[in-house]
Amino acid sequence: MHFLDQAKIYIRSGAGGPGAVSFRREKYVEYGGPDGGNGGKGGDIIFEAMAGLNTLIDFRYTQHFKAQRGVHGSGKDRNGAAGKDLVIKVPVGTQIISDDDRETVLADLTEAGQRVTLLEGGLGGRGNASYKTSTNRAPRQHQPGLPFEEMYVWLRLKLLADAGLVGLPNAGKSTFINQITNTKAKVGDYAFTTLRPQLGVVRHKAREFVLADIPGLIAGAADGAGVGDRFLGHIERCRVLIHLIDVNGVDPVEALEIVEEELEAYGAGLEDKPRLVALNKIDLVDAELVRAFSKELKQAGVAKVFPISGATGKGIDALLDAVVSYLPAATVTERPDGEMEEGDDTPWSPV
Say if 337 falls within a structural domain.
Answer: no
Among residues 121, 147, 115, 113, the alpha carbon closest in space to that of 46 is found at 115
Asked if the structure places residue 351 within a domain, the reply is: no
Q: Does 310 map to a domain?
A: yes
Mean pLDDT for the stretch of residues 76-91: 95
- Rounded to an integer, what distance in angstroms lies between the CA atom of residue 36 and that of residue 68? 22
* 220 and 189 both lie in a single domain: yes
- Give the range of the structural domain holding residue 296, as residue numbers without chain letter: 163-331
Taking the CB of residue 168, how many other CB atoms lie within 10 A of it? 24
d(CA 38, CA 33): 16
pLDDT at 213 over 70: yes
On whether both 173 and 215 belong to a single domain, the answer is yes
pLDDT for 86-104, tens place per residue? 999 999 999 999 998 888 9
Q: Is the pTM of this model over 0.85?
A: no
Give the end of a domain, one of 157, 183, 202.
157
- Phi, psi angle pair for 231, to nearest 5°: -80, -5
Task: Let me know whether 180 and 254 are in one domain.
Answer: yes
Residue 332 has pLDDT above 50, yes or no: no
- 3 occurs within a structural domain: yes
Residue 47 lies in a domain: yes
213 and 327 both lie in a single domain: yes
Q: Which of 157, 188, 221 is the last residue of a domain?
A: 157
Q: Has residue 254 got a pLDDT over 80?
A: yes
Distance between CA atoms of residues 84 and 101, nearest Å: 30
218-248, pLDDT tens digit by residue? 666 666 554 556 677 777 888 899 999 888 8
**Do 280 and 145 belong to one domain?**
no
350 part of a folded domain = no
Mean pLDDT of 107-128: 94
Instruction: Please give the pLDDT value at position 103.
Output: 85
pLDDT of residue 348: 46
pLDDT given at position 124: 96
Over 70: is that where the pLDDT of 349 sits? no
- CATH number of the domain encompassing residue 278: 3.40.50.300
Longest pairwise C-alpha distance within the chain: 109
DSSP state of 256: H
- Mean pLDDT (the chain) is 84
Q: Per-residue pLDDT averaged across 179-192, rounded? A: 64
Most confident listed range (27-36, 147-156, 244-253, 274-283) = 147-156
Statement to judge: residues 240 and 134 lie in one domain? no
pLDDT per residue over 267-309, tens digit each? 778 888 888 999 988 888 888 888 998 999 898 888 898 999 8
The domain tally of the chain equals 2
Same domain, 135 and 172: no
Q: Are residues 189 and 228 in the same domain?
A: yes
Q: What is the CATH number of the domain that holds 105?
A: 2.70.210.12
Above 90 in pLDDT, residue 70? yes
pLDDT at 346 over 50: no
* pLDDT value, residue 338: 45
**Residue 21 CB partners (closer than 8 Å, separation 6+):** 34, 36, 127, 128, 140, 141, 142
Confidence at residue 287, expressed as pLDDT on a 0 to 100 scale: 87
pLDDT over threshold 50, residue 120: yes
Residues 169-193 as b or e (16 or more Cβ within 10 Å = b)? bbbbbbbbbbbbbebebeeeeeeeb
Residue 195 has pLDDT above 80, yes or no: no
* pLDDT at position 336: 44
Structural domain includes residue 346: no
Residue 153 shares a structural domain with residue 182: no
On the question of pLDDT at 216 being above 80, the answer is no
C-alpha 344/C-alpha 347 separation (Å) is 8
Does residue 21 sit in the same domain as residue 48? yes
Say whether both 312 and 207 belong to one domain.
Answer: yes
Which carries the bigger pLDDT value, residue 83 or residue 346? 83
Q: Which amino acid, 233?
A: G
Phi/psi of residue 345, each to 5°?
Answer: -90, 0
Q: What are phi and psi of 301, to 5 degrees?
A: 115, 0
For residues 180-202, give the mean pLDDT: 66
168 and 233, same domain (yes or no): yes
pLDDT-based confidence at 331, cuts 50/70/90?
Answer: very low
Query: pLDDT at position 171, please?
Result: 81
Provide the pLDDT for residue 341: 45
At 219 the pLDDT is 67
**What pLDDT sits at residue 50?**
92
Does residue 256 lie within any of the structural domains? yes
